[in-house]
A and B are shown apart, each in its own frame.
Chain A
Amino acid sequence: MLADTWFEILPAVVRAPDVVFVPRAAWRPELDPKHALKVVPALMVEVLASSDPELSRKIALESSARPARTPRDLSKRLRQYLEAGVLQVWVLDPDEGEADVYAAGSLRTLTTKDRLEAPAILPGFSVSVARLFE
C-alpha cells in the first residue's frame, strides 16, 4: 500500500494517485520509491476536492506547468489508468458521499448505503462507503 508516490504507468505519463495498492507479486527489488516507479498498481484511489484555482494559476505561471484536477484532467487520468492495466479505480467524492468504481468497461456508483469491496484484488476487504466519509 503506498501514498504520495509517483508511478510511470505509460511512456511519459507519471501520476501520483492518493492511495494505491501494488500486489506483492508485482513488486520488484529494483523499484526505488525515490523515483517514479515503473509498475502498474492493481488499485488506484483518487479523492475529489475543489482545487484552489488561484494557487494553481500562480504555480502554473511560475513553473510552466498546467494545472490539474479539472474535470477534463480527471477523465484523461482515469482513461490512462485503465489503459495502463490498473484493475480498479476508486474515485471518492466527499461532497456527494459517493464512490465511483471504475474497471475495464464498467462503472458503478456506490452511495453511503453501499459497501466497497474488491474481492479479485483485495479478498476480504469490505467497508461501508459511509465509513470513508465519516
Chain B
Amino acid sequence: MLATKTLHSVEDMERTPKPEAGGGYELDEGELIYLSPNSMEQWEIIHRCYHLLQNSMEAHTRAG
C-alpha cells in the first residue's frame, strides 16, 4: 500500500509553530520536512564561514 503525502503551502509552513526541541521546517515539493537543530560544531563552522565571507565582501567593497 502506498503512503499518502499531505501537501502544504508556503503559508502553511510559515504558520507551523517552531518545534520546542529546536530545529525548523522546510518544504520539499509541498511536503513538510523537519530539520533537526544544528550541533555546536556545526554552528561554529557556520559562523566562521559567514564571517569569513562577510569580511571578504567588506574588504572587496572598500577596495572599490
Contact = CB atoms under 8 A, between A and B. Distances in A.
A36 B14 contact: yes
Interface string B23-64: 111111111111111110110011011101110110110010
A123 interface: yes
A45 B48 CA distance: 12
Contact of A67 (B34, B39, B52, B54): B34
Contacts of B28: 13, 66, 68, 73, 76, 80
A64 B46 CA distance: 28
Contacts of A31: none
Give the interface size bracket for A toward B: 35 or more
Contacts, number: 132
B36 A67 contact: yes
B36 to A, nearest CB: 5
A122 B52 CA distance: 11
Given A36-B14, A63-B19, A68-B26, A132 B32 contact: no
Interface of B: 6-7, 9-10, 13-14, 16, 19, 21, 23-39, 41-42, 45-46, 48-50, 52-54, 56-57, 59-60, 63
